[in-house]
């Protein structure tokens, strides 16, 4: 099956800890994205990458970091600097990252800070 997988589905973290969310795709897409979803806010872009070893900040990158060492993988680290990390995190990918491309979404990871 082709698609995007995110793990884990639920994640709990203590304050002050870094945590890494996994995102893998086997669609052979060049572009990958991370979004954060809060109730009533829609989705907001954290980081995106259009090619391996390159990525760009989105609208709310503070307190987050990413890497893109492989085409298939785009992990997101939520650092202790992120002031309010409890949210639903969604990863997406698209063929080339062009503005008419469809983005395909993973099932999401719900992060809760205790």
Residues of this chain that interact with other proteins (CB under 8 A) are 4, 6, 31, 33, 40-45, 48, 50, 58, 88, 90, 92, 94, 96-108, 110
Query: 83 or 99: whose CB is closer to other proteins?
Result: 99
Query: 72 or 101: whose CB is closer to other proteins?
Result: 101
Query: 62 or 98: whose CB is closer to other proteins?
Result: 98
Q: How far apart are CA 5 and CA 77, in angstroms?
A: 16
8's tokens? 């884990």
100's tokens? 């008419």
């Amino acid at each position: 099956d082709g698609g995007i997988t995110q793990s884990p589905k639920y994640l709990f973290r203590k304050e002050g800890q870094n945590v890494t969310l996994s995102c893998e795709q086997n669609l052979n897409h060049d572009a990958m994205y991370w979004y954060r979803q809060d109730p009533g806010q829609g989705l907001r872009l954290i980081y995106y990458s259009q090619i391996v070893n390159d990525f760009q900040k989105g609208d709310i990158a503070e307190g987050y970091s990413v890497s893109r060492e492989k085409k298939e993988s785009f992990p997101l680290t939520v650092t202790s600097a992120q002031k309010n990390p409890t949210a639903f995190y969604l990863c997406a990918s698209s063929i080339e990252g062009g503005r008419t491309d469809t983005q395909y979404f993973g099932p999401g990871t719900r992060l809760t800070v205790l």
